[in-house]
Amino acid sequence: MRGRYLLKRFLLMIVTLWVLLTIVFFLFRIMPADPTALFIGASLHPDSQNMMMEQFGLDKPKLEQYFIYMKNLFKGQFGISIRTNQPVVKMLRGKLWNTMFMMGTAMGLALILGVVIGTILAWKRGTGVDTGGIAVFLALRSAPEFWLGMIILLIFGYILQWFPIGLMLTPGRAYTGFFDKYFNWDFIHHLVLPVFTMSIFYLATPMLVTRNSILDILHEDFIEMAHAKGLTNKRIMFRYALRNALLPVVTIAPLMLGFAIGGQVLLEKVYSWPGMGRELVEAVSSMDYPVVQAAFLFLGAIVIIGNFLADVLYSYLDPRVKVG
């Protein structure tokens, strides 16, 4: 029965990806802006203009363009960038990994710290630790993400000079492959500030959800039974209450991921991080259809797959979930 449920969720994920891709494809093509205006001038000979339109497949009806694009997509081909005349896959492959490392590390850290701190605040409920912790992290969550990034960059990058002020690697540094690029101290040194900014910004959500869930669970019968057995408060909190409080956190994790992608664009601009966010902004401003479609598909796939994995994890964490 669980297999049938997961199959349905997987098929729904595929349909959602298709709907996302279709909307993005037609959305940019009904806009009045013309992507060819960047490189096709009015003085260019009409035959040359038609040849360039044909090169990018923009001379065909929109519906025909759509079917051609879907056909190429099944072959793993995302087209040629109108702006750079390079294969889109080649342009975005490295930038996708850059974004994944930054956002994945930050969101993982935010979830782990949020659960731990939320558990501690629930344990210390009603005390100064509880009140102060909520006030501090809500204040950090209320601040604009780009502003928070600039303040952290100013303090730790310009004033204290503990960390680099931007980029992903020191200019001029050569790397020999994937492992050497992402698993070295220079990359980690550049990664600290953007990850720190994003993690403390999103930490408040899992923290408050965990705290409130634990406070609700502490009134359940099985918690009273654990007290009756003489178990310590620490063991009850972390062994029994926390396990059940993780279910709402699993539910909100994909939603956090969706919001984080929007914030990722701003932080990549602040920290000059060469990721998908910066590339997407440049592609949208220049109406580079192939790059925009691929970037939206990749970023949307992260959120949609995250929701699917949350459904899978939820069905295992909570046996009460009906998967029939």
Cβ contacts of 250 within 8 Å, gap of 6 or more: 310, 313, 314, 317
Distance CA 42, CA 84 (A): 20
DSSP letters spanning 87-129: BHHHHHHHHHHHHHHHHHHHHHHHHHHHHHHHHHHHHTTTSHH
Q: Which pLDDT score is estimated for 207?
A: 92
Q: Which pLDDT score is estimated for 244?
A: 75
Q: Which pLDDT score is estimated for 192?
A: 93
Q: Which domains does the chain have, with CATH numbers?
A: 2-74 (no CATH), 93-317 (1.10.3720.10)
pLDDT(90) > 90: no
Q: Give the tokens for residue 264.
A: 């990722």
Q: Decide if 117 contacts 249 (C-beta within 8 A).
A: no
pLDDT(44) > 90: no
Q: Which pLDDT score is estimated for 250?
A: 80
Highest mean pLDDT among 68-72, 81-85, 190-194, 278-282: 190-194
Distance CA 147, CA 23 (A): 32
Distance CA 205, CA 200 (A): 10
**pLDDT per residue over 130-147, tens digit each?**
899 999 998 988 888 889
**pLDDT per residue over 192-246, tens digit each?**
999 999 999 999 999 999 888 888 887 777 777 877 877 777 777 777 777 777 7
Q: Decide if 266 contacts 64 (C-beta within 8 A).
A: no
Distance CA 47, CA 31 (A): 25
